[in-house]
Amino acid sequence: METTTEPLYRLKAVDRYFRVGSAEVRAVDNVDLELYPGELVAIEGPSGSGKSTMLQLLGALDKPSRGSVVFDGRDLSKLEDGELTSIRARDIGFVFQAFNLIPTLTASENVEIAMVPLKEGKAQRRQRAAELLDQVGLSERTRHLPSLLSGGEQQRVAIARAMANKPRVILADEPTGNLDSRSSEEIGTILRSLAAEHGVTVILVTHADNVAGWAHRRLAMHDGQLSERDDSQWTAPRAVPPPEASVGSG
């Protein structure tokens, strides 16, 4: 009987190649990785190093050319499209650099539509959207259209939308790339609390050092290869032995 911390993701020898004409691009090259519940992980690296491709694989939007991506015990490459769609809707929230809100919908409606696939009633959707917008400090802005919100506010709506279905993971591709430093810090505070208080695994791709500084764990990507950064303070969660194991052992 042992208490173990199971990884949420387990990647084994993952490659993602693209064929461009007669050439082959190794966007992701032989990646092994385990990601745990509640971790806030930054992936850094130059443009073209494979960061977005990694997020697509983690987000069940793409499949590896070789190797396996196991999410919550299920090998994503073995699932049907319908099952992948369901995992994306229920378990994974996406946040983009450009916010990607629907311009003709209010802040509340932008959050509510994420819940439509789960077939909750309209009243519940509205209620949950109000709670989420309150959590990101936008309770006074629920009826605003995106064009009436600042960039930082739009990104907070996008985070509320990503959280709508209580996902296990938030995948954020350069979430502060279009924001000033103050708005970036607000986004950082929210992402940190999602990991620390809600146990969400937050994976963010970034160029900015302050953004990577929020992370518990820093990974570097180069030419498709992923490595733990030397200054990453992270160590893998270990199985904790039951208390009686230590009795009389010293």
Interface residues with ligand ADP (CB under 6 A)? 18, 20, 25, 27, 45, 47-53
Pick out residues in 133-192 that bind Mg ion (CB under 5 A). none
Task: Work out how close the CB of 215 gets to ligand ADP at its nearest, in angstroms, rounded to a whole number.
Answer: 17
* Tokens 């570097």 -> residue: 220
Q: Phi first, then psi: what are they for 13, rounded to 5°?
A: 45, 50
Q: Which does 106 bind (CB under 5 to 8 A by kind): ligand ADP, Mg ion, none?
A: none
- Of 8 and 57, the one with the shorter C-beta distance to ligand ADP is 57
Q: Which of 57, 59, 55 is nearest to 68 (CA)?
A: 57
Rounded distance, CA 62 to CA 60, Å? 6
- Of 66 and 143, the one with the shorter C-beta distance to ligand ADP is 66
**Angle at which helices 181-198 and 151-162 cross, to 10°:** 20
Task: Work out how close the CB of 47 gets to Mg ion at its nearest, in angstroms, rounded to a whole number.
Answer: 7
Task: Work out how close the CB of 229 gets to ligand ADP at its nearest, in angstroms, rounded to a whole number.
Answer: 16
Q: Which does 25 bind (CB under 5 to 8 A by kind): ligand ADP, Mg ion, none?
A: ligand ADP
Pick out residues in 42-81 that bind Mg ion (CB under 5 A). 52
On the CB side of 25, how many CA atoms lie within 13 Å of its CA? 9
- What's the Cα-to-Cα distance from 100 to each of 28, 77, 111, 126, 154, rounded to whole Å? 26, 27, 12, 20, 9
Q: Which does 184 bind (CB under 5 to 8 A by kind): Mg ion, ligand ADP, none?
A: none
Task: Work out how close the CB of 48 gets to Mg ion at its nearest, in angstroms, rounded to a whole number.
Answer: 8
209: tokens are 């050092």
Q: Which amino acid is at 37?
A: P
Task: Work out how close the CB of 43 gets to ligand ADP at its nearest, in angstroms, rounded to a whole number.
Answer: 9
Which residues of the chain form contacts with Mg ion (CB under 5 A)?
52
